[in-house]
Amino acid sequence: MQNISHASYKLSLSDPRFRALLFQVVTVVVVLAIGFYLLHNTQTNLQHRGITSGFDFLERSAGFGIAQHLIPYEEANSYARVFLIGLLNTLLVTFIGIVLATLLGFIIGVARLSPNWMINKLATVYVETFRNIPPLLQILFWYFAVFLTLPGPRGSINIEDMFFISNRGLNMPGASMTDGFWPFVVALVLALLAIVLMVRYANKRFETTGEPFHKFWVGLLLFIGIPGVSTLLFGNPVHWEVPQLEGFNFVGGWALIPELLALTLALTIYTAAFIAEIVRSGIRSVSHGQTEAARSLGLREGPTLRKVIIPQALRVIIPPLTSQYLNLAKNSSLAAGIGYPEMVSLFAGTVLNQTGQAIEVIAITMSVYLAISISISLLMNSYNKRIALIER
């Protein structure tokens, strides 16, 4: 076999390179043919059975109400808008979930390594409990056993006449724009610019002279100061509207529905348990010698963790962390069990049922999850590349 590979390319089955190529070509042709056949077959059968196909339904009026919509919605709006609402609701849960789960996960992960017996054991119990209960059960628990057992709106828990907690969710003051809004935004952008410049200057000075600069405190001052001046000059950027109990429900202000709260809480707690383990493994992967070396250079505990351990641990942490983010995004579809109007329950549920166009609706839904997942992984991969070890 060895000497054949050195010989010239033969159009014969005895040539392994030709065989390999032939099989690959055959495979591609077969896959394409089958794909075409399935598509054609589906089309024919749908027509035969009198099932409407195509994407025209997206322009038809939906005609049903939705509990939570981040963009304005009326019953007369189209299915396309319903799709957009479902997508935004999914993204909302995914985004909040990822942020909170990461924070909680890092805290628990570090706590598991704490020399303090109590903190250490609490973190262990947390991880072992929440990691080992199916997420759907946790969602149902938070929804039916926690949020729905709260008192009704008329007997809600009242915090300072501003926040109201009831089985209708959390009602809180809502902001609406006033004249001072845009000056405030401009001031905010200016402040951020100033902070960026300040950090650059501070880093440069630190590199050349070695003198540290109080980046955090100066940054905070800029961040509060510049928008603060704008508020003094142009007035409050927003007007706060306090929720009022009117009839059956609270009116005015912002409302977080219990479905959203239960789902986000359950997913955060569940995913944080996994993230904690990933963080712990990442930190453990940095050898103890690094800590000792940092100590012998005179770094205190905080800077040692932030400047030596975490940057090296991140390289181990990021890839599995990405998987957890993807899991969280996909697990958000479990909301169908508690009636939170996200992609699966709203679009692949209600819309599918009202239109009967299963193939189109499921195809759209699947591509949405694919797109969300790929976006998350692209973001995380580029971040991973940035923090990767650069060998000099």
Partner 1 sequence: MKLSLGRRPFCCFLSLYVGLSIYPCSLLAGWTVCAAINESNKMKKANKTVKVGISIAGLALASVMSMSAMAGTTLDNVKKKGFVQCGISDGLPGFSYADTKGNFNGFDVDVCKAVAAAIFGDSSKVKYTQLTAKERFTALQSGEVDLLSRSTTWTSSRDGSMGILFAGVAYYDGQGFLVNKKLGVKSAKELNGATFCIQAGTVTELNLADYFRANGLKFTPISFDTSDESFKALESGRCDVLTSDQSQLYGQRLKLSAPNDYAVLPEVISKEPLTTAVRRGDEEWYSVVRWTQIAMLNAEELGVTSKNVGDLVKNTKSPDVARLLGVEGSLGKDLNLPNDWVVKIVSQVGNYGESFDRNLGEGSDMKIKRGLNALWNQGGLQYGPPVR
Binding-site ranges for partner 1 (CB under 8 A): 1, 13-14, 16-17, 19-20, 23-24, 26-28, 30-31, 34-35, 37-38, 41, 46, 48-52, 63-67, 75-76, 144, 148-149, 151-152, 167-168, 246-249, 251, 258-259, 336-339, 341, 345, 349-350, 352-358
Rounded least distance, CB 289 to partner 1, Å: 38
Beta carbon nearer to partner 1, 235 or 339: 339
Rounded least distance, CB 328 to partner 1, Å: 22
Rounded least distance, CB 260 to partner 1, Å: 12
Rounded least distance, CB 122 to partner 1, Å: 31
* Interatomic CA distance for residues 277 and 270, integer angstroms: 12
* Interatomic CA distance for residues 18 and 25, integer angstroms: 11
Beta carbon nearer to partner 1, 67 or 371: 67
* Interatomic CA distance for residues 135 and 147, integer angstroms: 17
Looking up tokens 């000792």, which residue turns up? 292
Rounded least distance, CB 32 to partner 1, Å: 10
Rounded to a whole number of angstroms, the CA Rg of the chain reads: 28
Beta carbon nearer to partner 1, 62 or 273: 62
**Phi-psi map region of 274: left, alpha, beta (phi>0 left; psi -120 to 50 alpha):** alpha
Beta carbon nearer to partner 1, 178 or 333: 333
Rounded least distance, CB 74 to partner 1, Å: 8
Exposed / middle / buried, residue 186 (Cβ in 10 Å: 0-12, 13-18, 19+): middle
| Nearest to 369, CA basis, from 81, 84, 90 | 90
Please report, to the nearest 10 degrees, the dihedral formed by the alpha carbons of residues 138, 143, 352, 33 taken in order.
-10
Beta bridge partners of 182: none
* Interatomic CA distance for residues 381 and 323, integer angstroms: 11
Beta carbon nearer to partner 1, 87 or 110: 87
Rounded least distance, CB 331 to partner 1, Å: 17
Query: How is residue 89 written in tokens?
Result: 């609701």
Find the angle CA(326)-CA(139)-CA(92) to the nearest 5 degrees.
50
Beta carbon nearer to partner 1, 19 or 204: 19
Beta carbon nearer to partner 1, 82 or 172: 82
